[in-house]
Amino acid sequence: MPLRPHASLTAFILACGVSACGAAPADKPQPPAKVDAVGHETELMRLTLTADAVRRLGLETEVAGAAKANVFARTVPGEIVAAPRGGGLPVAAGTDQTALAGLQARADADAQRAMADLTLAEANLRRASGLVDAEAGSIRARDEATQQVAAAKAALAGATGQRRALGPAVATLADGGALWVRAQVPAADLARLDRGASVSVRPVGGTGGIVATPVRGPATATTGAASIDLYYAPAMRAGLRVGERVLVDLPEQGGPDAAAIEVPASAILTDINGGEWVYVETAPRQFERRRVEVARIMGKRAMVARGLASGVRVVTAGAAELFGTEFGTK
């Protein structure tokens, strides 16, 4: 027998009452992070974490401070060369060692020949002078002997200078002689550099640097690359070899605005486009991502040129986890 309309309505009301008398649903758990839009820099987000989330992510922070020294430097390629002995040109790896050794041998022979000629000319002068003093010789012969001595001295000076210009002997390059660093500086950047300051020399791909002081080197340049050579003397050899390619950090001239902020290198994040960021703690357990410009990284410390102010607290551990939280990555 079919139910009447009012009977169906009564059954529906009773069913709703029974379900309402059941157990109340459990409260929704509090999310570990709250994300709010900041509204600038391509819709940056503000992250507010719970205390438990901060602990699980292992976040650590540090107050950013001003760098202790001028850290603005330009990195240029360099080469280890053999320092000249008594002047001349340094010996680089690009030099043809076989041809250089031959030139040095001929220059040594020319210098020895000039020395022998000078010794003979001086003996002739003494003999001619003795004859004049004994009134047994002519003054003209003494004058000719004097000119021969002067010519022999000029020839010896020329031969010695030519040998000096060829640098140290090729056979002695590996005997612990003095080394220089030849830095190739673009001509357009030369005026911006602090020419009297020490530089840092580091191997290609390495982090540790060796301090080198400026020295007076020859006026050499690379015309095709429009670069000028600057020479520096390393404080220690530290395994450096002639011909080794290195990187040279040349400090720029400091100015009133030449100040950088120093933070741990672990605080720097680099996105897929090469942008550099740090996370700043703006309030307890509240973080925002800030774009920065890194001037250079020295060991485990990063020098930030723009984007941070002294006294700001930055995230030094767990920055990548915050990045993943912001963008919802797993």
Query: What's the pLDDT score for residue 120?
Result: 92
**Hey, where are the domains in the chain?**
33-71+257-327, 73-90+173-251, 97-166
pLDDT, greater one: 239 or 119:
119
pLDDT tier, 178 (very low <50, low <70, confident <90, very high otherwise): confident
**CB crowding 47-76: b at 16 or more within 10 Å, else e:** bbbeeebbeebebebbebeebeebbbbbeb
Structure tokens at 280: 């700043």
Alpha-carbon span 48 to 16, nearest angstrom: 41
Judge if pTM exceeds 0.85: no
For residues 104-119, give the mean pLDDT: 88
Topology of 33-71+257-327 in CATH? 2.40.420
Give the model confidence (pLDDT) of 274-312 as tens digits.
888 989 988 888 888 888 888 777 778 888 878 888 888
Q: Are 252 and 75 in contact (CB under 8 A)?
A: no
- CATH code of domain 73-90+173-251: 2.40.30.170
The SS3 of residue 169 is: coil
For residues 122-133, give the mean pLDDT: 87
Query: What's the pLDDT score for residue 11?
Result: 56
Query: What's the pLDDT score for residue 4?
Result: 55
Alpha-carbon span 81 to 234, nearest angstrom: 11
pLDDT tier, 154 (very low <50, low <70, confident <90, very high otherwise): very high
Give the model confidence (pLDDT) of 37-58 as tens digits.
655 555 678 888 888 888 888 8
- The CATH class of 97-166 is mainly alpha
